[in-house]
A and B are shown apart, each in its own frame.
Chain A
Amino acid sequence: MSEAILEVEDLKKHFPVYGGVLRRQVAAVHAVDGVSFDIKKGETTGLVGESGCGKTTLGRTALHLIKPTSGTVRYMGRDISKLSAKKMRRLRLEMAMVFQDPYASLNPRMTIADIIGEPIDIHHLAKGAEKEKRIMELLERVGLVPYHLYRYPHEFSGGQKQRIGIARALVGNPKLLVADEPVSSLDVSVRAQILNLLKDLQKDYGFSCLYISHDLSTVKHMSNRVAVMYVGKLVELAPVKDIFDAPRHPYTRALMSAIPVPGQRRENRIILKGNVPTPINPPTGCRFHPRCYECQPECAKDEPELIEVEKEHFVACHSKKST
């Protein structure tokens, strides 16, 4: 078994909600509410969930781009919350991020050379001709050509912009890449290009990856292990084969049966009732119990813990404890 590059333990992020005349804190959005998992070296961990379940927040707090409310994140065995700002900045080279919306994550007033060059300057990695050479190499590696260097983001298509975002993330030879819905804003025919590129780069650079998405088909394609998130909590974590072939948690099963498959009309799918609850006031006990089709009395009272039910297969559900 390979060792973990990132270990997340009981991570929580609550965003305050202010209200009333005095703008006091009246509630909190429990975006991430006690999540533990790890990312193994060289592997891709997929994180799936519906909108608002906290998967983006989890990705960002895991890198300390947002300060967590509580919990620890260990990067190669070191607790990163205890690092000084300076040391943290150095670490950022190794922990890179590719953002969801390539239209919004590139500064429209900077040329591509500036965008990719900025992290090189900040970390004093190279200067002058050497810097230029490095930018060129990166551009080429992600499938762009040198004459793109002095263009502005608006001159590129969505797929090309995402390539630029990826080139920027690769500047520091990252050991960990968090890719937050990297293809969801792209055209279908362009998605495959970016997914293949990410896979190729992972082989070359050997980075571990946290692949965040709501699209189960791409998660299956990209990941070695998959974590399923529901309203701020992980409900299931298992190797990709187990998650897709033998999902245990009722929510995961419903999610799997809800995926429309090209060329097939699915019979007897599990159709969940109701909506995803708000993370401001999540349901008591198991957060899925109001929509669960296997709900038992205890589910409304006790919160199930994430337990290893089989080797490497973790589930947080009362009814799965005994099996």
Chain B
Amino acid sequence: MKPPTNGAVLRINDLKTYYYIAEGVVKAIDRVSMKINEEEALGIVGESGCGKSTLAHSILRLIRKPGKIVGGEIWFEGENLLRKSEGEMRKIRGSKIAMVFQNPTSSLNPVFTIGSQIAEAIKLHQNVQKHEMKEKVIDILGKVGIASPSQRMKDYPHEYSGGMCQRAMMAMALSCNPKLLIADEPTTNLDVTIQAQILDLVRILRKEFNASILLIGHDFGVMSELCDRIVVMYSGKVVESADLKTIFEGAKHPYTNALLESIPRINVEKDRLHVIPGDVPELIKPPPGCRFHPRCEQATEACGKEEPAIIEIEKGHEVACLLYN
């Protein structure tokens, strides 16, 4: 069974990833579907615990016990990643789908030099002669904006600043020309001025490497800088997806709108912020019906009973809300 790709690099159908812990089952990803088009930058926005990182890890099959992918399909290059063996997955990870993690300083190995860690990634997936390797590492480090790369490749991670570590991670991820780059909150731990540097870099690299990007984060500002399309997640579900402009100017789901109105913005004067009452629900016992209904201003009685299906209300704009069913 091979679904038509329709220009999609990655297509996720009905994915379910659950964690089986002593207290019960945590449905971190519950029937999520989405696709990433060729050369597209897709942003997944959500608050902590909405399942956005679990989604990224599920794509690369990096879910560890007590977590498990219990259902769904992930189509990449015409093949279902969930049916691949661990050995086959290992060939895909880092070469065709690469990932940049949230905390750059702890995702690099402290006892190896930056250069040797990048070389390791290249050696695993490409046939590069030993004498060419050094040049290749220098070349890629230069591309991600490390000054004097032939010197700095001999440094250890602790000699790099946070921003530089993130650049090195990026070099490692791009060293094998991936089709898809997954970046999980790549700038969350960085200062604003460094964040601007990294975002600028990603924009340049995106053009150069022609990779699709899946950007995960909670900051609508960062998302607007890079993404073409946005998927909003809440409590393990996709609630809305649309192109960037539609999300900001014509979002339909009450959660998306509430979230957008609750953030103070530099370009808007407001004395009081819109408040979403209550807290993010725990995934172990999510509310029945629509998971947002206890915090939703527009909730009706039906919202507590019936789970809304995700429906395309206009071309490329999907919403999961009973108001639009």
State the A residues within 8 Å of B (CB): 50-51, 157, 159-160, 187-193, 195-196, 199, 214, 216-218, 220-221, 244, 254-266, 269, 271-272, 275-276
Does B276 contact A189, Cβ atoms closer than 8 Å? yes
Question: B272: which of A196, A258, A263 is its contact (CB, 8 Å)?
Answer: A196
A260 to B197 Cα, complex, angstroms: 12
Does A260 contact B47, Cβ atoms closer than 8 Å? no
A220 to B277 Cα, complex, angstroms: 23
Interface residues of B in 271-313 (CB under 8 A from A): 271-277, 279-280, 295
Which residue in chain B gives the minimum CB-CB distance to A156? B279
State the B residues within 8 Å of A (CB): 47-48, 161, 163-164, 191-197, 199-200, 218-225, 244-245, 248-249, 258-260, 262-267, 270-277, 279-280, 295
User: How many Å from the CB of A182 to the closest CB on chain B?
Assistant: 13
Does A269 contact B224, Cβ atoms closer than 8 Å? no
What are 20 pairs between A and B in contact, CB < 8 Å? A187-B218, A189-B280, A191-B263, A192-B263, A193-B275, A214-B191, A216-B192, A216-B266, A217-B264, A217-B266, A220-B266, A221-B264, A255-B192, A255-B193, A258-B193, A259-B192, A260-B199, A260-B224, A263-B249, A272-B193
User: How many Å from the CB of A142 to the closest CB on chain B?
Assistant: 14
Which residue in chain A gives the minimum CB-CB distance to B222? A260
Which residue in chain A gives the minimum CB-CB distance to B218? A188
Does A264 contact B224, Cβ atoms closer than 8 Å? yes
Question: B220: which of A190, A254, A262, A266 is its contact (CB, 8 Å)?
Answer: A262
A204 to B221 Cα, complex, angstroms: 33
Does B265 contact A192, Cβ atoms closer than 8 Å? no
A262 to B266 Cα, complex, angstroms: 9
> Which A residues touch B271, using CB under 8 A?
199
> Which A residues touch B225, using CB under 8 A?
260, 265-266
A265 to B243 Cα, complex, angstroms: 14
A195 to B154 Cα, complex, angstroms: 46
Given A195-B264, A217-B266, is A261 in contact with B224 using a C-beta cutoff of 8 Å? yes
Does B163 contact A275, Cβ atoms closer than 8 Å? yes
Does A189 contact B47, Cβ atoms closer than 8 Å? yes
> Which A residues touch B272, using CB under 8 A?
196, 199
Q: Which 6 A-B pairs have the closest CB atoms?
A: A260-B221, A263-B248, A221-B264, A262-B220, A258-B196, A192-B262
User: How many Å from the CB of B168 to the closest CB on chain A?
Assistant: 14
Most buried by A among B245, B271, B280: B280
Question: A187: which of B47, B196, B245 is its contact (CB, 8 Å)?
Answer: B47
> Which A residues touch B47, using CB under 8 A?
187-189
Does B194 contact A275, Cβ atoms closer than 8 Å? yes
**With A188-B262, A220-B264, A256-B266 already in contact, 14 other A-B pairs whose C-beta atoms are closer than 8 Å:** A189-B280, A190-B276, A192-B263, A192-B275, A193-B275, A193-B276, A196-B273, A214-B191, A217-B264, A257-B196, A260-B195, A262-B260, A262-B265, A269-B196
Does A189 contact B262, Cβ atoms closer than 8 Å? yes
User: How many Å from the CB of B319 to the closest CB on chain A?
Assistant: 18
A276 to B190 Cα, complex, angstroms: 11
Given A187-B280, A192-B273, A217-B266, is A271 in contact with B200 using a C-beta cutoff of 8 Å? yes
Does B192 contact A262, Cβ atoms closer than 8 Å? no
Given A192-B273, A193-B275, A255-B193, is A218 in contact with B280 using a C-beta cutoff of 8 Å? no
